[in-house]
Structure 1
Amino acid sequence: MKILVIEDDKTTGAYVSDGLREEGHSVDLFTSGSEGLIQASVGQYDVMIVDRMLPGIDGVSLVKTLRGTRNRTPVLFLTSMGGVDDRIEGLNAGGDDYLVKPFAFGELSARIAALGRRPQMQEAPTVLTAGDLEMNLLTRKVTRAGQTIDLLPREFSLLEHLLRRKGRVQTRTMLMEAVWDIHYDPMTNVVDTHISRLRSKVDKPFKTELIETVRGAGYRIDS
Structure 2
Amino acid sequence: MHILIVEDDPVIADHILTGLHQHGHDATLARSGIEALAAFEPSAHDAIVLDRLLPDADGLAILDRLRSKGSTVPVLVLSALGSVNDRIEGLDVGADDYLTKPFDIDELAARLAAIARRNQPRPEGALIEVGRLQLDPASHRASFRDAALVLNRKQYSLLAHLMCNADRLVTRSMLLERVWAYSFSPTTNIVESNISRLRATLLDLGCDPIETQRGAGYILRSDRCV
Sort the TM-score into its range (normalised by shorter chain): 0.5 to 0.7
Query: Following TM superposition, by how much is the alpha carbon of 1:112 offset from its aligned partner in structure 2, in angstroms?
Result: 1.1
Q: Quick one: distance in 1 between partners of 2:6 and 2:94?
A: 16
Report if aligned partners of 1:20, 1:109 keep a CA contact under 8 Å in 2.
yes
Q: Structure 1-normalised TM-score? A: 0.55
Q: Quick one: distance in 1 between partners of 2:105 and 2:39?
A: 24
Report if aligned partners of 2:7, 2:54 keep a CA contact under 8 Å in 1.
yes
Q: Quick one: distance in 2 between partners of 1:12 and 1:91?
A: 23
Q: Quick one: distance in 1 between partners of 2:35 and 2:43?
A: 12
Give the match's secondary structure for 1:115.
helix
Are 1:12 and 2:20 counterparts? no
Give the match's secondary structure for 1:176.
coil
Report if aligned partners of 1:81, 1:100 keep a CA contact under 8 Å in 2.
yes
Q: Quick one: distance in 2 between partners of 1:7 and 1:119?
A: 23
Q: Within 5 A, what are the aligned runs for 1:8-157? A: 8-41=8-41, 44-120=44-120
Identity of aligned residues (%): 40
Report if aligned partners of 1:41, 1:66 keep a CA contact under 8 Å in 2.
no
Give the match's secondary structure for 1:91.
helix
Q: Quick one: distance in 1 between partners of 2:31 and 2:19?
A: 17
Q: Which has the higher contact order (CA 8 A, sep 6+)?
A: 2
Query: Following TM superposition, by how much is the alpha carbon of 1:10 offset from its aligned partner in structure 2, in angstroms?
Result: 0.6
Q: Quick one: distance in 2 between partners of 1:81 and 1:121?
A: 31
User: Which position in structure 2 is the counterpart of 1:176?
Assistant: 184
Amino acid at match of 1:67: R
The alignment's C-alpha RMSD in Å is 2.3
Distance 1:175 1:112, change over 3 A: closer
Query: Following TM superposition, by how much is the alpha carbon of 1:57 offset from its aligned partner in structure 2, in angstroms?
Result: 2.4
Work out which of the two has the higher radius of gyration on C-alpha atoms and give 1 or 2. Answer: 1
Task: Mark the runs of 5 or more structure 1 residues left unpaired by the alignment.
Answer: 123-163, 178-182, 186-223
Q: Structure 2-normalised TM-score? A: 0.54
Amino acid at match of 2:37: L
Query: Following TM superposition, by how much is the alpha carbon of 1:116 offset from its aligned partner in structure 2, in angstroms?
Result: 2.0
Q: Quick one: distance in 2 between partners of 1:37 and 1:116?
A: 20
Q: Quick one: distance in 1 between partners of 2:48 and 2:23?
A: 16
Report if aligned partners of 1:34, 1:55 keep a CA contact under 8 Å in 2.
no
Task: Mark the runs of 5 or more structure 2 residues left unpaired by the alignment.
Answer: 123-176, 189-226
